[in-house]
Copies of this chain bind each other. A is one copy, B any other.
């Protein structure tokens, strides 16, 4: 039964990619604006190309090493097939990242031009370009995974096919490490470096095409919020599909449901992708501003409701009415995702108490705003952590009632539920930097202030909605890592752990919990190094390129060289954390054993999740506090509160955009590595 499901899912994924292509064509056909706008956009494109070329070079080296390692380490467990899946998984993610950067760096001038015709048109163009990325991420993840499944499970019927398919997930993780961690470091380094250069040297103009760092900064926006979050959620999505499959492939779930248990996650994911396609068509608004906000929110919720309905029927159809409890497990994830998103919005939006209070504390200076922001970020961990705990507990319980002993399968389904709307989430997130870039182009090209107002308005809409998306990215990373943890436990056969008479779990827990702190420290320092490199490069260009200092019209700085030096530093600085993320769990597993590794993963998951929420929400709260005061509150621009808020934002940005998101990747990568290399720890 249901043998056709994988093929149908592959079909949906292919259709999703086709829709993305159509959106891409629609965007590119728009008027790219006047000569100066096109020139700026081309400079950003050139910078993005330079970044991609360098980044992908580093990824390639990393991939070659891991390819060799997988082939050798797992040689008795179809190592080379796993390695092939690994490369395939990584390539799909690289392609998605490339497509996302390609379209977002082309959409920026087109959105700027469209904004001259009103907010409604600009929204449509910007959102479509975001949707290209969203649908590509969802489509490629699903298509790649389903193809692997069909080849190894259905066609070849390999015995331990799940293990082979896990290679696909590790591929996703490898790319995410560089795209999200390295990309985040690059983005913030460029941002801080650009500010640094113009602050320390009065010759270097801010937001002017003669400043080479300006383009690096714009590229950074796209790299962080398009390619970075895309790779992050691509990894989470793949993990959320694979984890329940891996759990189902052995043990009690397989005995009761057979292959249906493995098909169920694929079918749910397929339905999710279909719902996202529908969701993207729902986004259009007649008016700008509030209308745009409503359009995005409405479509997001509509997608969620569709998804819930579809899941219900899928569980009913595939697992049967007697196992409808599995649907509730899915539901816990969907609900938790929404609540986490809403609470992120509460703690970071200018409309609610936390940011308003933060703005008030800005009045009493830089010390207060930093302490207050930190404490607000720490407080904001309460609900997300409680929600993940609740979702885990309820999902375990309902799945266990539906199918005795299937509790951890329920945790997998919960993660999947949270991630099914991934296409929509990425679309909304990728919309942000496009609008932001468009605003910069409007400013640099000297267009009408009214146009700038329209893009600013769309930008603030993006900020609010992306808080939802970012909260979801963190929550889903935690839940996906939990699901992988459950799969790991099931794979090593740790049904019970001697937690207490055996010190090994606790030792692992301590070591694992410490790692996210070390990882954060490394990424924070890396941002500082990239910023110095960028500032240095700007100084060099102002010294060496004649006429740049004087701001002559025809003189152009070497944007690519600036991007290259930033990328090189960022990627180099990513190597150690990346290696740490892969090697640490291997070492713990090999030296201290599988029980310590379980503790290690649990500890890292816990502190990584907490730091991610705290850093993201503190950072976003500072950012929006500045926006709030810039908008006129507490004296507006130029006031004492404003300078404190700007200060807060500068402290918060590296936390929010580099170290915080890196946590998502770290906890997933370590879980993936542990799960994939289980055979090594069982020897």
Contact = CB atoms under 8 A, between A and B. Distances in A.
A91 interface: no
A388 interface: yes
A500 B506 contact: no
Interface stretch (A105-113, A167-175, A457-465, A508-516): A508-516
Contacts of A511: 385-386, 389
A495 interface: yes
A582 to B, nearest CB: 18
Given A375-B520, A375-B521, A520-B378, A392 B500 contact: no
A575 interface: no
A651 B651 CA distance: 12
Contacts of A510: 385-386, 388-389, 392, 606, 609
A495 B494 contact: no
Contacts of A524: 371-372, 374-375, 378
Interface stretch (A40-48, A417-425, A482-490): A482-490
Given A368-B528, A509-B606, A654-B371, A598 B517 contact: no
A336 to B, nearest CB: 12
Point out which of A370, A411, A482, A609 has the most chain B C-beta atoms below 10 A from its C-beta: A370
A507 interface: yes
A682 interface: no
Contact of A517 (B378, B505, B603, B651): B378
Contacts of A408: 500-501, 503
Interface string A29-57: 00000000000000000000000000000
A656 to B, nearest CB: 12
Nearest to A613: B517
Nearest to A196: B364
Contacts of A525: 372, 375
A407 interface: yes
B517 A610 contact: yes
B382 A514 contact: yes
B503 A411 contact: yes
A133 to B, nearest CB: 30
A650 interface: yes
A497 B499 contact: yes
A379 interface: yes
Point out which of A378, A382, A393 has the most chain B C-beta atoms below 10 A from its C-beta: A378
A614 interface: yes
A546 interface: no
A639 to B, nearest CB: 16
A67 interface: no
Nearest to A527: B371
A623 interface: no
Nearest to A372: B528
Given A507-B389, A606-B509, A514 B381 contact: yes
Given A510-B606, A517-B610, A396 B503 contact: yes
B498 A606 contact: no
B518 A379 contact: yes
A665 to B, nearest CB: 17
Nearest to A387: B510
A161 to B, nearest CB: 23
A390 to B, nearest CB: 8
A334 interface: no
A500 B507 contact: no
Contacts of A393: 503-504, 507
A422 to B, nearest CB: 23
Contact of A647 (B366, B397, B614): B366
Given A392-B507, A518-B381, A496 B494 contact: no
B496 A499 contact: yes
Nearest to A482: B506
A390 B610 CA distance: 25
A149 B411 CA distance: 48
A565 interface: no
B607 A513 contact: yes
Contacts of A486: 500
B407 A501 contact: yes
Contact of A489 (B367, B378, B499, B610): B499
B500 A497 contact: yes
Nearest to A410: B503
A376 to B, nearest CB: 7
Contacts of A376: 521
A142 interface: no
24 contacts: A367-B647, A371-B524, A371-B527, A371-B528, A372-B525, A375-B521, A375-B525, A378-B520, A382-B517, A382-B518, A385-B514, A393-B507, A407-B502, A411-B503, A489-B500, A489-B501, A494-B499, A495-B498, A495-B500, A495-B501, A499-B598, A513-B607, A517-B610, A607-B610
Given A496-B496, A513-B607, 16 more contacts: A370-B651, A371-B524, A375-B525, A376-B521, A378-B518, A378-B521, A379-B522, A382-B514, A392-B503, A392-B510, A397-B503, A486-B500, A496-B500, A499-B499, A510-B606, A517-B610
Interface of A: 196, 361, 364, 366-368, 370-372, 374-376, 378-379, 381-382, 385-386, 388-390, 392-393, 396-397, 405, 407-408, 411, 482, 486, 489-490, 494-507, 509-511, 513-514, 517-518, 520-522, 524-525, 527-528, 598, 602-603, 606-607, 609-610, 614, 647, 650-651, 654
Query: Which 8 pairs from chain A and chain B are nearest by CB?
Result: A489-B500, A396-B503, A375-B524, A379-B521, A378-B521, A385-B514, A375-B521, A389-B510
